[in-house]
Structure 1
Amino acid sequence: MSNFPNVARGKRGYDPAQVDDFLDNARAVFDGRAKGLAAADIRHAAFDLKKDGYEPGVVDAALERLEDVFANRERQAARSELGEKEWFGRARELAQVIVNRLSRPERERFSRVGLLKQGYSVEEVDRFSSRLIRYFSEGSAIGVEDVRTVTFRPQRGGYSEAQVDLLLDSVTDVMLAVR
């Protein structure tokens, strides 16, 4: 049983049984009693909404902290296995791939969905992409939380959500790798 607060009576929140099961599994993996859960899995965890469930914001914040712990452990293991130089070399390579993608001309950074389909707002994604370029090239302030929580309005004919989300996951990986 977790200590998460429930949403206001009659409102919908995360399914407590699913959250508790996920966290029990995470605890077992962390303690070495189970395998198969990585930081990326925590980042992508999703739960059904249920009347009187757990407060989503509180659960999400806990999952972000848990992802950080798992990412730190994975980073330490990879550094031990690969060596410091190789580890940072791979992080730099991934960062360069990201910068190459983001350096494309505005309105052409990602594939577009069909005119009748909803994608991410091109203008909003390009604006956030500019912030990421400044982060990678100038070291401007942007946190991993900003990347994890960014949202974009839907737009017909917008950018492919899958491509944008994959890039944001890669940015998060790089940020966690160099912490």
Structure 2
Amino acid sequence: MTQNEQSGSFRTVGRGRGYHPAAVDQFLSAARESFEMGGGELTASDIRVASFPLVKGGYVIADVDAALGRIEDAFAARQRERVVREGGAEEWVVQAREEAQVILDHLARGRRKKFARTGVLSFGYRVDEVDHVAARIVRFLRDGDELSVEQLRSAAFRMQRHGYREEQVDALLDATIDVILAVR
């Protein structure tokens, strides 16, 4: 982790809302402590799902998100090193392949049927946009096409009535990020 990420010296928004500085600083302090302990309580997945309240004059969201991405990468690399050290590289590859196969099996479902849908009066992720990203994930896992962690981290979907359930889509994106980080 860089000094900027440790000291809480992110830029603040002039006008508008940003991440609550105290919440970000507290989380980053806990992440640093966990990382330095070499096996603390936090994982790469915990870093990925971190969220902070928005306040006037808070930290610039893009700056904090970029730092969190780098920290997540560091935690994932540490986890990979630990598994390789304890069980060997083959175990790590087997785990990554198994996870990739689960994702591919899930995405083999038909067009517009890859995830559960919200009720007809409720909003969820726009189906065609999610299916487009799902197709890119399949091409990455099956054919080796390019797909970066950053592309998945920044994936955003518009909302629609009777759309895909957000929590299911988000969980699959998180699992795919774990696979990409595992094979890096």
TM-score, with length taken from structure 2: 0.93
1:27 equivalent among 24, 27, 32 = 32
Deviations 1:2-58 (A, max 9, x none): 2200001x3111110011111111111111188311111110110111111100000
Q: Which of 2, 7, 15 lines up with 2:8 in the alignment?
A: 2
- Rounded to whole Å, the distance in 2 between the matches of 1:33 and 1:69 is 11
Q: 1:166 aligns with which of 161, 164, 171?
A: 171
Whether contact under 8 Å (1:25, 1:34) holds in the other structure is: no
The yes-or-no answer on 1:96 pairing with 2:101 is: yes
Q: What does residue range 136-175 of structure 1 map to in structure 2 within 5 Å? A: 136-175=141-180
**Length, aligned pairs only:** 178
CA distance change for structure 1 residues 34 and 102 in 2, over 3 Å: closer, same or farther?
A: closer
**Deviation (angstroms), 1:137:** 1.3
1:7-156 alignment, distance < 5 Å = 7-8=13-14, 10-32=15-37, 35-156=40-161
* Percent of residue pairs identical: 48
Root-mean-square deviation (Å): 1.3
For structure 1, the 5+ residue unaligned runs are none
Poorly superposed stretches of 4+, deviation over 6 Å? none
SS of the residue 2:18 aligns to: strand
Q: Deviation digits for residues 98-156 of structure 1, max 9, x if unmatched?
A: 01111211011111111011111110011111111111111111101011110111111
Distance 2:124 2:34 in 1: 36
What is the CA–CA distance in structure 2 between the aligned matches of 1:78 and 1:119, rounded to whole Å?
Answer: 37
Give the structure-1-normalised TM-score: 0.96
C-alpha deviation, 1:86, in angstroms: 1.5
The whole-number CA distance in structure 1 between the counterparts of 2:17 and 2:24 is 14
Provide the C-alpha distance between the structure 1 equivalents of 2:58 and 2:129, rounded to a whole number of angstroms. 32
Question: Could you tell me how far 1:82 is from its partner in structure 2?
Answer: 2.0
Distance 1:82 1:170 in 2: 21
Q: Any unmatched runs of 5+ in structure 2? A: 1-6
1:31 counterpart SS class = helix
Deviation at 1:168, TM superposition (A): 0.5
